[in-house]
C-alpha cells in the first residue's frame, strides 16, 4: 500500500481500532496495517497504539524488566569504510585512531569481571591490518581465545554480519567458515548491528560500502543455522521513510519465521531501535537529516508499532539508553519494551556521534529507572535466562 493510500485510511479511526483489537487477540498484523499505525498523528490514537503495545508486552513477556551486566569493548576505530552517519571511524595513523592490544582488552575484561559482568560485547572498525600471519580470521580467533581462556565465564557477544563478511573477504572464506571458527573460539552470539535499514536504496546513501540487505540476511540466517543466536537492530530517524521502516521489520519477521520453520537451533533474541544521532556525524548526512538528536516521540511510536508487528516473533524489545538517555529509554518501557539493555561500562561509537545518554550506567541506576515505573527487575544473561 502506498503512503498516500495509507494516509487516506488514517482518517478512519475504526480501522485503527480494528487493527489494534486483532493484535490484542494475538493475530499478526499486515505491513499495510503497521504502516497505518506508524503514520498516525492524533494524540488519542497514538495513546491507543501505546496502550496496545504495552498490553502485548505484558501478554508476551510479562511485567518484569530485564537488564544485563555487560561491558562494551570497541577494539579499534580504524576502518576501511566511510559510512555517512559514522563519527567513530578513523584512518590508520591519523589523530584519534586507536587499536587496542590484547593486553588492553584483557584488562578491560578483568575490570568487567570485577564488576560482575556476564557479557563482553565486542565490535570494531574493519581494520585491514588486523591480521596474524597474514590472516584476519587468525587475529579475531586469537582475540576471542585470549578472552575466553582467561575468563571462561564471560559470554562473548561479538562481531556483526559486516565484520563476518570482512573477515571472509580478507581471507577468501565462506561466511559459514568464519562463523564456525568464531564459535569454536568462544563467541556466544552475534550482534545484529550493520543492519541499519534493510533497504538498498537507503544503504547506498548512508553506508554505500557496507554489505547489502541480502548479505546481512544471509549471514544472520547462516548464524541461526549454525547454532549462533543473533540480535536485530534498526537505525531509525534519518532519511528512511515509514514504509522502509516497516519493510525492515517485515524482513526481520521473515528471518525469524524461516529459522522457526527450518528448525534452526537458534534465532533472533531481541530487537533494538537505534535512533540516529547526528551531532558529530559527517556533515552531508547531518545537514540532510537536519537535526542532531533523535525525536523521542517518533521513536516511541515506532517502538510501539515494532512491538505490535514483531512481538509474536521477537519477544524481547530493548530501547537504546545511550541514544535516548535513561529517561527516554525508561519511557520506552511503557511503549512495548521489556528490557533496558546493559551497563555497557564504556561506549565509543554513539558517544563520538554526539549522543547525550552517557556511556556507562550502574546496576543501581538501571534498577532505579525500572523501579520508578513500579515494575520488577531481574538481571538476565545475554540469551535472556533470568539470573
Ligand atoms: S559504521 Fe562501522 S563500518 Fe561504517 S565507517 Fe563506521 S566503523 Fe566503519
> Are 325 and 356 contacting, i.e. CB atoms less than 8 angstroms apart?
yes
- What are the beta bridge partners of residue 120? 71, 156
* Ligand 1 center from residue 365 Cα (angstroms): 30
Nearest partner of 331 among 54, 56, 58, judged by Cα: 54
- State residue 106's pLDDT score: 97
Mean pLDDT, residues 284-290: 82
- State residue 8's pLDDT score: 56
Q: What is the pLDDT of residues 302-322, one digit of tens each?
A: 999 999 999 999 999 999 999
Q: What mean pLDDT value characterizes the chain?
A: 93
Cell 541480502 belongs to residue = 214
* Ligand 1 center from residue 97 Cα (angstroms): 13
Q: What is the pLDDT of residues 196-245, one digit of tens each?
A: 999 999 999 999 999 999 999 999 999 999 999 999 999 999 999 999 99
Nearest partner of 319 among 278, 370, 379, 368, judged by Cα: 370
Q: Max CA-CA distance within the chain?
A: 65
- State residue 284's pLDDT score: 81
Residue 355 confidence class, pLDDT cut points 50, 70, 90: low
* Ligand 1 center from residue 149 Cα (angstroms): 29
Structure-block grid coordinates of residue 377: 527487575
Mean pLDDT, residues 359-363: 85
Has residue 269 got a pLDDT over 70? Answer: yes
Residues with C-beta less than 6 Å from any ligand 1 atom: 79, 81-83, 86, 88-89, 125-126, 162, 207
Q: Which of 76, 84, 86, 206 to mutate to test the pocket of ligand 1 (most atoms within 8 A of CB)?
A: 86
d(CA 262, CA 26): 23
- Closest-CA residue, ligand 1 atom 2, reads 125
* Ligand 1 center from residue 79 Cα (angstroms): 6
pTM of the model: 0.94
* Ligand 1 center from residue 302 Cα (angstroms): 25
Any idea which architecture 62-379 has in CATH?
Alpha-Beta Barrel (3.20)
Amino acid at each position: 500500500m502506498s503512503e498516500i493510500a495509507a494516509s487516506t485510511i488514517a482518517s478512519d479511526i475504526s480501522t485503527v481500532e480494528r487493527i489494534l483489537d486483532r493484535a490484542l487477540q494475538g493475530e499478526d498484523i499486515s505491513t499495510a496495517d503497521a504502516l497505518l499505525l506508524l503514520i498516525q498523528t492524533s494524540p488519542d490514537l497514538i495513546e491507543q497504539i501505546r496502550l496496545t503495545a504495552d498490553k502485548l508486552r505484558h501478554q508476551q513477556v510479562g511485567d518484569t524488566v530485564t537488564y544485563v551486566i555487560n561491558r562494551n569493548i570497541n577494539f579499534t576505530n580504524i576502518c576501511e569504510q566511510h559510512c555517512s552517519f559514522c563519527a567513530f571511524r578513523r584512518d590508520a595513523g591519523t589523530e584519534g585512531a586507536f587499536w587496542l592490544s590484547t593486553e588492553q582488552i584483557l584488562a578491560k575484561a578483568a575490570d568487567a569481571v570485577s564488576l560482575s559482568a556476564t557479557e563482553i560485547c565486542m565490535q570494531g572498525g574493519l581494520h585491514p591490518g588486523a591480521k596474524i600471519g597474514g590472516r584476519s580470521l587468525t587475529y579475531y580467533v586469537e582475540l576471542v581465545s585470549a578472552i575466553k581462556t582467561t575468563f571462561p565465564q564471560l559470554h562473548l557477544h561479538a562481531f556483526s554480519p559486516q565484520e563476518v563478511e570482512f573477515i571472509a573477504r580478507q581471507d577468501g572464506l565462506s561466511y559459514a567458515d568464519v562463523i564456525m571458527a568464531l564459535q569454536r573460539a568462544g563467541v556466544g552470539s552475534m550482534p545484529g548491528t550493520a543492519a541499519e535499514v534493510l533497504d538498498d536504496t537507503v544503504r547506498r546513501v548512508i553506508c554505500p560500502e557496507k554489505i547489502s540487505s541480502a548479505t546481512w540476511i544471509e549471514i544472520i540466517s547462516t548464524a541461526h543455522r549454525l547454532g549462533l543466536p543473533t540480535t536485530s537492530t534498526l537505525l531509525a530517524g534519518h532519511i528512511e521513510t515509514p514504509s522502509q521502516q516497516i519493510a525492515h521489520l517485515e524482513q526481520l519477521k521473515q528471518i525469524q519465521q524461516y529459522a522457526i520453520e527450518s528448525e534452526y537451533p537458534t534465532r533472533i533474541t531481541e530487537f533494538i531501535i537505534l535512533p540516529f544521532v547526528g551531532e558529530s556525524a559527517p556533515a552531508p548526512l547531518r545537514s540532510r537529516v537536519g537535526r542532531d538528536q533523535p525525536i523521542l516521540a517518533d521513536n516511541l511510536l515506532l517502538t510501539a508499532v515494532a512491538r505490535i508487528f514483531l512481538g509474536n516473533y521477537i519477544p524481547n524489545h530493548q530501547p537504546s539508553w545511550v541514544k535516548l538517555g535513561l529517561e527516554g529509554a525508561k519511557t520506552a518501557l511503557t511503549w512495548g519494551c521489556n528490557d533496558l539493555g546493559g551497563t555497557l561500562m564504556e561506549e565509543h561509537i554513539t558517544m563520538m556521534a554526539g549522543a547525550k545518554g552517557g556511556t556507562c550506567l550502574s546496576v543501581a541506576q538501571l534498577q532505579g529507572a525500572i523501579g520508578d515505573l513500579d515494575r520488577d527487575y531481574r538481571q538476565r544473561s545475554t540469551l535472556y535466562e533470568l539470573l
